[in-house]
């Protein structure tokens, strides 16, 4: 939303605990949109069960949008994706999306052997 597409006040919020529940709400027509990570199994299942499927909404990709996205999520950036059989929900060419870095962390006392298993 920070990319300029829509304002948070323009939406009706439907709290869900996670993206799987949000996808279920989308499948059941209880919501019009959901935040869905790329290529998750729940997204692929929803695509297969929804009569018209679902798609990612392409974000604005301009200087202001990039600045707002980076401000809201410092480890993120707007990237352009092309439709591909391996990218469920990417139908526009290009589809501008937010890419976010994630890091796996653990307690300082956890051994390297445990981490790599």
Q: What is the DSSP-derived secondary structure letter of residue 10?
A: G
107: helix, strand or coil: coil
Contact status, residue 59 vs residue 86, Cβ threshold 8 Å: no
Residue 75 to residues 15, 19, 38, 98, Cα–Cα distance (Å): 24, 20, 17, 10
Q: Break the chain into its structural domains and give their ranges.
A: 8-116
The tens-digit pLDDT sequence of the chain (117 residues) is 656 666 778 888 899 999 999 999 999 999 998 989 999 999 999 999 998 899 999 999 999 999 999 999 999 999 999 999 999 999 999 999 999 988 889 999 999 999 888
What's this model's pTM, rounded to 2 decimal places? 0.75
pLDDT of residue 117: 84
Angle at 32 between CA 78 and CA 97, to 5 degrees: 10
pLDDT of residue 62: 94
Quick one: which of 49, 51, 39, 52 has its CA closest to 84? Answer: 39
At 100, give phi and psi (nearest 5°): -130, 135
pLDDT of residue 64: 92
């Amino acid at each position: 939303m920070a990319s300029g597409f829509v304002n948070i006040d323009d939406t009706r919020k439907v709290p869900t605990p996670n993206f799987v529940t949000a996808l279920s709400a989308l499948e059941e027509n209880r919501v019009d949109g959901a935040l869905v990570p790329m290529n998750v199994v729940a997204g692929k299942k929803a695509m297969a069960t929804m009569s018209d499927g679902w798609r990612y909404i392409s974000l604005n990709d301009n200087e202001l949008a990039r600045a707002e996205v980076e401000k809201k999520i410092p480890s993120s950036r707007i990237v352009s994706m092309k439709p591909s059989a391996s990218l469920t929900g990417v139908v526009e060419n290009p589809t501008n999306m937010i890419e976010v870095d994630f890091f796996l962390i653990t307690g300082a006392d956890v051994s390297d052997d445990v981490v790599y298993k």
